[in-house]
Amino acid sequence: MEIKNTLFRNLEPYRAKVDQEAADAAAGRAKNTAQHSVPAQGDRISLSVSARLYTMAHAETVNAPEVRREMVDALKQRVDSGEYAVDARKVAEKLLESETGLARTLSGDMV
């Protein structure tokens, strides 16, 4: 005997969709098996663009070099003393390059 709790089903639409897809797939397999033998296709996975970006970002951080504390401290001293001047044009160019690369990635032109 199986007891199904349907009282809260509408509160979990994703779960309801997964359950329905599983039931549909099971019904489809039973139907296909009855008609003819279907070779196994194996497991598949499909990642969203957000998941792919997260994976790429994680890989970059893992492969990033260690922070060189002495270089950071030296730069902080130069900024505090007024010795360090920021080139706003270079900063803007780098921001545009970064945004263009991100837009390319999101549009599916991943390398």
| 18: phi then psi, degrees, rounded to nearest 5 | -60, -45
Between 94 and 44, residue with greater pLDDT: 94
Whether the pTM exceeds 0.85: the reply is no
Q: How far is it, in rounded angstroms, from Cα 22 to Cα 16?
A: 10
> What is the pLDDT averaged over residues 1-22?
59
Helices 49-63 and 88-106 meet at what angle, rounded to 10? Answer: 130
pLDDT at residue number 31: 58
pLDDT at residue number 47: 75
Report the candidate in 47, 53, 62 with the shortest Cα–Cα distance to residue 102: 53
